[in-house]
A and B are shown apart, each in its own frame.
Chain A
Amino acid sequence: MKMTRRTLLAYSAITPLALMSIRVGGARAEGMVLHRGNGAAPQTLDPHLNFGARDAYIQDDLYDGLVGYGQDGQIVGSAAGSWDISDDGRVYTFHLRENLKWTDGTPIVAQDFVNGLIRTLDPATASDKAYYFSSTIQVTNAGAFTNGEITDPALVGFAAPDDRTVVMTLDNPAPHAIWILTSFQSSPLHKPSFEQYGTEFVQAGKLVGNGPYTLTELVPQSHLVLKKNPHYWDAANVKIDEVWYHVTEDMSAATKRYLAGELDVTVDAIPDEVEKLIAAGSIAADEYHVAPNIDGYYYSFNITKKPFDDVRVRQALSMTIDREVLQEKILKSGYPPAYSMVPPGVDPAYPGAAVKEKGMSHDDRVAAAQKLMAEAGYGPDSPLKAVLLATNDNDEKKKATAVAIMWKKALGVEIDLQFQEYQAWLDGFYAGTWDIFGDTIVADFAGAESYLSYMKPSAEAGYNWKNDKYEELMNQAAATPDVTARNTLLAEAEQILLDDYLIAPISGGATRQLVKPYVKGWIDNVIQFHASRFLWVEKA
């Protein structure tokens, strides 16, 4: 890896000054150290509150749940070495490993895990992820406990019959339940420190965890330093001694820190900037890791407003979005274009569904769309006018502007683009001030159900969409423990959703990261978890 003349060339267009260049390596601490860029500062380290992925990356190093994401993003046993699932798919029994210890050396018992789960649900905790256990999976009485209908935690479907067994009881079978119990979702609660410090028990110096690392330093909005935890059950296989999580809000600045050797891993990257650096030889192509993730992007139609109550109009608009041009040429995002609600590549076992235009050529799509619009009463002389509401994120702006141009070219549609900051955008969604809504979903787990259950009126009333057949299929799927049969039902439901064009799918998401070649053990995966305990640094 050389950082010389060719990097300059990559940037030479902006600076003719830089002809002499010397690469100075940054000084490093003793032992094996990893510097990770982690985007915006974590909002909380409290595992029972946290909801965001970037906070979860850190928590994955600090806490050990019943199960966890393995090196390749698949589920592996963590604190629980093994587990059994009852035949009806409703009872999960977890068997904890022997001699589990907190970072302070005291033993961990099964009740600690139950306490953690109960704390997440407790209304007094006010955790906005309680819905994982009441809605994403239906743990017995979890909803009633969160809503305050019952107050006795013993009635909730989490129990510790002995010190090494945790039992979870569900109302409905849920093959995805195991995904909801990974490290930061099912972290145990260290009662002594919680009772002593209250919600501040996760601050540096107070935090007692059970993960492969322990928190030694935290400067808000700057960085966190984690040191290896000798009490961890798998400490013998943890290679990196010290992990730094740096706050890197500016993506371009993070790339520069990576180039200068201040970071070994970035949390995101700007594709065209990286391509240019690769072309210049400043970064090797295999340092750039792009992997589809579980985000989904789509445009929703306001079916309560004319003429968007007409499926022909919705279909015509969906058909004339050139998804490939949008992602590959305009946004250069690395995101996979999507023709379905469930983004491609999320779950290989899911058969999937697709909107009608998939497989048609672009010209055919435009012709068909024009015909549909004409039937609906719109044409060159009477153009459709619509309000598109999206967030003020730069990519969202660019996307909406491009889509508006596509619609204008193909159908003569006149779009009034409105971009608002996040909160106002969200308020706008419920206020229904839009015709078309720049929408997005972040799934709770890598499975179709996470996307599809969200479109039910009971989950999101804002769409005003009700389809009896869809409901029926979704309910049927929810009662089916067998994964294959369940997926078939889900795919059928998705096809109904797509045929009705409540939404125009746009794309999936992707995680784009820079990883130094000397960082070993990195396996790209859809979940995008790369726990530090699986990595090591191998410098020549």
Chain B
Amino acid sequence: MLRYVIRRCIGVIPTMFVLMTITFFMMRLSPGGPFSTNRKASAEIIANLNRHFHLDEPLWQQYLRYLWGVLQFDFGPSYKMRDYSVADLLIQGFPTSLKLGLAAILISTLVGVTLGTLAALRRNSWIDYGASTVGLVGIAVPNFVLGPLWQLLFGVMWGLLPVAGWGQSWTQMILPVVSLALPNIAYIVRLTRGSMIESIRSNHVRTARAKGLGERLAIWRHALIGGLLPVVAYLGPATAGIITGSIVVEKIFSVPGIGRYFVEAALNRDYTVVMGVTLLYGFLIILCNLFSDIVYGVLDPKVRYE
């Protein structure tokens, strides 16, 4: 196992390199550029801007320049947020996204697994249907509908929570965390319920029962582990996604996370910021998937990584 983990860690470097290269050239194939926005500026002014940011060089040279920078952990300046470097933006925004995302993933895992297990144990009971409904609402009603609704109810009408904002009070975290968690709760409830039912009926658990263990213990030890496997696999990419923020939630609740850059930087052709968030996300994806593989191996000893 340890050797496997070490090998995976070494594998991060080529993976990131390929990701960086593909992304770099894909961005440049797209129309538009960071400074074409201003139609009134003269060609000379645009040329000044391009020269300033080395965008007038041949593409391969720009690529090498970027690569050289990345090797020294210099991710370049932002073309749009001119007062900041990409590193500044990520260092200031990522902790916020991480905090929100970890809270959301924790809540959704706890609630999702609990509801899903209960639903599986009491199939076709009101608990089951209730859990399914919560799950479906979380998926079918997107954040851009639920978010404003929470704001209206808790912020405007009942005055219980701040409508939006960040950094003045911990209560400002509640609504964004709930909004982030809900769709994930839905996924986890459904996945847990499905595989838990399978797992309860499976021969492992039957065998365990036959061996005379108490039913409760059998369920916990075997069913839960068996039932959690798909959830663990799902949580790998889901965690990477959720801790890098969501543009919808960030905009509605004025949360200063980095989720917005995934869309906005791309729309603004802020190439360096796109590269920055892509590399960060890629790194987290690799990390989370590795972590979920390890958890997988721990939960199910039959899984062997060669």
Task: Give the interface centre of B45, B158, B251 by most chain A CB atoms within 10 Å.
Answer: B45
Q: Are A256 and B256 in contact (CB under 8 A)?
A: no
Q: For residue A175, give the distance in angstroms from its CB to the closest CB of chain B.
A: 20
Is residue A223 contacting chain B, with contact meaning CB distance below 8 A? yes
Q: Are A131 and B148 in contact (CB under 8 A)?
A: no
Q: B164: which A residues are within 8 A, CB to CB? A: 248, 253, 256-257, 262
Q: Are B89 and A22 in contact (CB under 8 A)?
A: no
Is residue B156 contacting chain A, with contact meaning CB distance below 8 A? yes
Is residue B201 contacting chain A, with contact meaning CB distance below 8 A? no
Can you list 26 A-B pairs, Cβ within 8 angstroms, ordered by A?
A3-B159, A17-B153, A21-B158, A44-B81, A128-B38, A128-B41, A128-B46, A129-B41, A130-B45, A147-B44, A219-B92, A220-B88, A220-B92, A222-B254, A222-B256, A247-B256, A250-B252, A253-B164, A260-B162, A421-B267, A423-B36, A423-B269, A426-B39, A428-B31, A454-B40, A459-B40
Can you name 14 extra interface pairs (CB under 8 A) apart from A221-B257, A423-B37? A11-B157, A20-B158, A41-B81, A49-B82, A130-B41, A131-B40, A202-B83, A219-B167, A221-B256, A247-B256, A249-B260, A262-B162, A262-B164, A422-B37
Residue-wise, chain B 236-276 has the 8 Å CB interface mask toward A (1 for contact) of 00000000000000111111110010000001110000000
Q: Are A220 and B157 in contact (CB under 8 A)?
A: no
Is residue B217 contacting chain A, with contact meaning CB distance below 8 A? no
Q: Are A426 and B32 in contact (CB under 8 A)?
A: yes
Q: Are A18 and B157 in contact (CB under 8 A)?
A: yes
Q: Are B45 and A21 in contact (CB under 8 A)?
A: no
Is residue B137 contacting chain A, with contact meaning CB distance below 8 A? no
Q: For residue A42, give the distance in angstroms from its CB to the closest CB of chain B.
A: 8
Cβ < 8 Å to A, chain B residues 55-111: 80-84, 88-89, 92-93
Looking across the interface, which residue of chain A has its beta carbon closest to that of B264?
Answer: A40
Is residue A78 contacting chain B, with contact meaning CB distance below 8 A? no
Task: Report which of A46, A219, A427 forms a contact with B31, defined as CB distance below 8 A.
Answer: A427
Q: Are B251 and A250 in contact (CB under 8 A)?
A: yes
Q: With A and B bound together, what is the CA distance between A517 and B164 in angstroms?
A: 22
Q: With A and B bound together, what is the CA distance between A504 and B79 in angstroms?
A: 34
Q: Are A24 and B160 in contact (CB under 8 A)?
A: yes
Q: A154: which B residues are within 8 A, CB to CB? A: none
Q: Are B35 and A128 in contact (CB under 8 A)?
A: yes
Q: B165: which A residues are within 8 A, CB to CB? A: 222-223, 246, 257, 262
Q: A223: which B residues are within 8 A, CB to CB? A: 165-167, 254
Q: A260: which B residues are within 8 A, CB to CB? A: 155-156, 159, 162-163
Residue-wise, chain A 378-408 has the 8 Å CB interface mask toward B (1 for contact) of 0000000000000000000000000000000
Is residue A424 contacting chain B, with contact meaning CB distance below 8 A? yes
Q: With A and B bound together, what is the CA distance between A21 and B159 in angstroms?
A: 8
Cβ < 8 Å to B, chain A residues 199-258: 199-200, 202-203, 219-223, 246-250, 252-253, 256-257
Q: With A and B bound together, what is the CA distance between A248 and B83 in angstroms?
A: 20
Question: Assuming the A-B contacts A199-B82, A262-B162, A262-B163, are A253 and B254 also in contact, with contact meaning beta carbons closer than 8 angstroms in the complex?
Answer: yes
Looking across the interface, which residue of chain B has its beta carbon closest to that of A11?
Answer: B152
Q: B48: which A residues are within 8 A, CB to CB? A: 123, 126, 130, 146, 148
Q: B30: which A residues are within 8 A, CB to CB? A: 423-424
Is residue A103 contacting chain B, with contact meaning CB distance below 8 A? no
Q: For residue B214, give the distance in angstroms from its CB to the closest CB of chain A.
A: 44
Q: B163: which A residues are within 8 A, CB to CB? A: 253, 256-257, 259-260, 262
Is residue A8 contacting chain B, with contact meaning CB distance below 8 A? yes
Looking across the interface, which residue of chain B has its beta carbon closest to that of A421?
Answer: B267
Q: Are B156 and A220 in contact (CB under 8 A)?
A: no
Q: With A and B bound together, what is the CA distance between A94 and B45 in angstroms?
A: 28
Q: For residue B37, give the distance in angstroms from its CB to the closest CB of chain A.
A: 7
Task: Report which of B37, B152, B268 forms a contact with A15, defined as CB distance below 8 A.
Answer: B152
Q: B282: which A residues are within 8 A, CB to CB? A: none
Question: Assuming the A-B contacts A221-B257, A253-B151, A253-B254, are A51 and B83 also in contact, with contact meaning beta carbons closer than 8 angstroms in the complex?
Answer: no
Residue-wise, chain B 11-50 has the 8 Å CB interface mask toward A (1 for contact) of 0000000000000000000111101111111101110110
Q: With A and B bound together, what is the CA distance between A362 and B124 in angstroms?
A: 63
Q: For residue B262, give the distance in angstroms from its CB to the closest CB of chain A.
A: 13
Q: With A and B bound together, what is the CA distance between A49 and B41 in angstroms?
A: 13
Is residue A23 contacting chain B, with contact meaning CB distance below 8 A? yes
Q: Lowest 10 CB-CB distances: which A-B pairs, in order?
A: A423-B32, A24-B159, A126-B52, A221-B256, A222-B256, A427-B31, A44-B82, A147-B44, A249-B251, A123-B48
Looking across the interface, which residue of chain A has its beta carbon closest to that of B147?
Answer: A253
Q: With A and B bound together, what is the CA distance between A223 and B254 in angstroms?
A: 9
Is residue A135 contacting chain B, with contact meaning CB distance below 8 A? yes
Q: With A and B bound together, what is the CA distance between A422 and B147 in angstroms?
A: 26
Q: With A and B bound together, what is the CA distance between A248 and B296 in angstroms?
A: 42
Q: With A and B bound together, what is the CA distance between A245 and B168 in angstroms?
A: 14
Is residue A7 contacting chain B, with contact meaning CB distance below 8 A? yes
Q: With A and B bound together, what is the CA distance between A171 and B82 in angstroms?
A: 32
Looking across the interface, which residue of chain B has its beta carbon closest to that of A19?
Answer: B157
Is residue A540 contacting chain B, with contact meaning CB distance below 8 A? no
Q: B53: which A residues are within 8 A, CB to CB? A: 126
Looking across the interface, which residue of chain B has its beta carbon closest to that of A426?
Answer: B36
